[in-house]
Amino acid sequence: MATKYGGYCGRVLKINLTDRSVSDYPVSDEDYRNFLGGKILAARILYDFITKPIDPLGEENVIVISSGPLNGTGCPSSSRFNVSTISPLTGILTSSNCGGSFALSMKRAGYDALIITGKSEEFIYLDVTSDGVKFLSAEHLRGMLTMDTQKAIGGTGSKIVIGPAGEHLVRYACAVSDDRAAGRGGIGAVMGSKNLKAVVATGYKKLKIKNPEKLKKIKIKWTKRLTSHPLTGEQLPKLGTAALVASMNQKHILATKNFSSGRFENYRKITGEELAERFLIKNKGCLTCPIKCARVVDLDGMTVKGPEVEIMGLMGANILNDDLHEIVKWNYEMDELGLDTISCSGTIAFAMELAEKGMWDSGLEFGKKDNISEVLHEIAFRSTERGDKLANGAKYLMQQYGGEDFCIQVKGMELSAYEPRGAVGQGLGYSVANRGGCHLNAGYEVVVEGLGLTINPYTKHGKAQIAIMFQNLMEAVSADGSCLFTTYAFFPPFLFRKPNSLLSRIVNGVLPYLGGALKIINKYPHLVHLNIPPMLPHPLAINAATGMRLTMGDMMKIGARGFNLERIINTRLGITEKDDKLPKRLTDEEQIPGDKRTKVPQKVLKKDFYKGRGWDENGFVKKSTIRYYGLDKLDNIGQRQAVSSEG
């Protein structure tokens, strides 16, 4: 295959593990233009394969590892790649974004994406180069931890590996590349179900850039913009994502005691500031990243990757633990075992509340920390009855023992550390996110509801339209291979440097009431033609790299196209309006007793969201929406999914 665009290899490889055949999979220039790359291109590919409900741990499941057009261009923070599959945790589409060096190595090998199908009879790993694919025995890697696996494979190639959790089909097992994780949805379990321990990519091909001189100038300005912004140039480099813990607690957004509260009395002991003072060695970043938000910390004499905000909250406040050393240790153990830190933490918190209510005695208790490491190993190896049950996630435990109202998950996926009763727009996002209780696919609206801007966190006004806009932007940025933190530059710096200024107060006060204008932009994103501040530089960089002519509106339309296509795939798998819901703890119980605002008004927000998205009341994508995004041109879309008859 070939493509007229720069920034792409023009080749997608299909690898069948069952018969060990390798072939090119056709991806057209139109596909690159309409679906860009990453998770959106992966959704386009999975649409061809997944036409009905399947067993995610069965041979019929498919893994798509995909890059974006900015991977390999040297653009700031452009080393992210995507892994998509059908999740064994949720039964629906999941996509997991990961940093590290794999995207660059895959493109240097000559491939934009790898499609992995079938199941190997033997325990193997794949060695992918520009010369093709080798199927190599992984028996010597069986049972190894993630870092040991990468070291044992050796060589100069980049790796994606699973740990014991993936081998034992823990439904939220992650895959690890370098020291970064493709964390959510059970990617590692799907690899394990296929007897696939690792994928290695090695290559030395040079990527073609359409306008290298123009791209060079864009990169210089873009890097300066990121390093001078108060979030990407100051807060994240200084404290990482853990910088948010203190403000989350202040704003009643820090999940505490299985989301029964939004504040933790001892939060000061688990903040980013405390992490920096007691454990930090240095900060680091992925390839080409000037932000360097990752923490390198000391753990009992070992130099390891430090924890992110999610586990600081979920293995801290959410289980009533204020021992930061233990959080650092558990984070390290989960990464090595190949466990998604968010789902694992959420499952443990739910088990603690089940025990507290006398519904299942697992030996896990709020505030008790001495048996957590033991439990993590039990989960990863499914070595005990307790570990075996916990390995299936919170929803499974709820189906066994009850507790639906306080089982903190959406569509089977446990929520991240942001308590949505303190940020109701984030609550809406959780409920409608395509991969389940995900804060990023939700649109990460919490960033304007208290963790960046300070718009009214409880108002219903404009929240659905803000969620849609943020989802579209973040989907597109993810698809081009960029880190989502680069979207922070969307916000003018003065909003953070002078949050109490008259202008900042006006912006925060007015933004929720711009829903009508945002509705027009969301419905007709092609109207947004200009690439001017505070718009994002991504389309300019893509244009220089590929030769496309994208506007900011085109980017938003691509993001919306991807979001709707994922929804279409999920409706094939049985998702309807009934699945877009939060547990009753978050919708029916006041977080702050006596304050009626502190509940997520799910019904009205979801109605506004469906209308803004162009979905019908059952949660199906309307035919008119399908036509607008050109999805009617895909094969038999009207026959393969439940589609609205409206519009």
Burial class (CB within 10 angstroms; exposed 0-12, middle 13-18, buried 19+) of 197: buried
What pLDDT shows up at residue 502?
Answer: 85
User: pLDDT value at position 601?
Assistant: 97
Q: 68 lies in a domain?
A: yes
pTM > 0.85: yes
Residue 643 has pLDDT above 60, yes or no: no
- Dump pLDDT digits (tens) for 446-459: 999 999 888 999 99
Is 448 part of a structural domain of the chain? Answer: yes
User: Would you state the pLDDT for residue 242?
Assistant: 94
**Residue 408 backbone zone (phi > 0: left; psi -120 to 50: alpha; other: beta):** beta
pLDDT-derived band at 647, boundaries 50, 70, 90: very low
Do 451 and 560 belong together in one domain? yes
- Nearest-CA neighbor of 147 among 179, 169, 175? 179
Tell me: do 191 and 240 sit in the same domain.
no
Task: Decide: helix, strand or coil at residue 625.
Answer: helix
pLDDT of residue 637: 38
Last residue of a domain, one of 343, 372, 407: 407
Mean of per-residue pLDDT scores for the chain: 94
Residue 608 forms part of a structural domain: yes
Specify the pairing of strand 124-129 against strand 113-117: unpaired
Mean pLDDT, residues 90-110: 96
Residue 394 and residue 324 share a domain? yes
Residues 166 and 310 in one domain: no
Task: Look at residue 182 in the predicted model and tell me its pLDDT.
Answer: 94
User: What is the chain's percent helix, strand, coil content, to nearest 5?
Assistant: 45, 15, 40
Do 313 and 398 fall within a single domain? yes
On the question of pLDDT at 132 being above 80, the answer is yes
220 domain-assigned: no
Among residues 407, 437, 452, the one where a domain terminates is 407
Query: Is residue 645 situated within a structural domain?
Result: no
Q: Are residues 634 and 496 in the same domain?
A: yes
Distance, CA of 277 to CA of 631 (rounded, Å): 52
The first and second tokens of residue 173, run together, are: 């097992």
The verdict on 384 and 270 lying in the same domain is: yes
Q: Are residues 150 and 251 in the same domain?
A: no
As given in the structure block, the two tokens for residue 601 are 């008004």
User: What's the number of domains the chain is made of?
Assistant: 3
**Distance (Å, whole) CA 258 – CA 314:** 8
Statement to judge: residues 398 and 430 lie in one domain: no
Q: pLDDT of 569-588, one tens digit each? A: 999 999 999 999 999 999 99
Q: State both tokens at 140.
A: 């010597």
Domain hosting residue 452, numbered range: 420-540+551-640
Looking at the domain assignment, is residue 186 inside a domain?
yes
Q: Are residues 396 and 424 in the same domain?
A: no
Q: pLDDT (tens digit, 9 = 90+) per residue, 339-387?
A: 999 999 999 999 999 999 999 999 999 999 999 999 999 999 999 999 9
| Domain's final residue, options 344, 374, 407 | 407
Predicted local confidence at residue 642, as pLDDT: 38
CA distances from 300 to 146, 147, 279, 410 (A): 20, 18, 10, 37
Residue 503 is predicted with a pLDDT of 81
Mean pLDDT for the stretch of residues 285-293: 90
Tell whether the model's pLDDT for residue 166 goes beyond 80. Answer: yes
pLDDT of residue 501: 84
- 243 and 344 belong to one structural domain: yes
Structure confidence at residue 531 (pLDDT): 52
Is residue 646 pLDDT above 50, yes or no?
Answer: no
Whether 646 is covered by a domain: the verdict is: no
Specify the CATH number for the domain of residue 98: 3.60.9.10
- Residue 241 has phi, psi (to 5 degrees) of -65, -20
Task: Judge if 470 and 324 occupy the same domain.
Answer: no
CB 369 within 8 A of CB 363: no
Average pLDDT (274-290) is 93
Residue 304 has pLDDT above 70, yes or no: yes
CATH of the domain at 488: 1.10.599.10
- Residue 219 covered by a domain: no
- Report the candidate in 519, 525, 520 with the shortest Cα–Cα distance to residue 475: 525
**pLDDT tens string 442-498:** 999 999 999 988 899 999 999 999 999 999 999 999 999 999 999 888 788 888 888
Q: What is the CATH number of the domain that holds 263?
A: 1.10.569.10
**pLDDT of 635:** 66
Q: Closest Cα partner for 107 from 175, 11, 23?
A: 11
What SS3 state is found at 219?
helix
Phi, psi of 449, rounded to the nearest 5 degrees: -100, 20
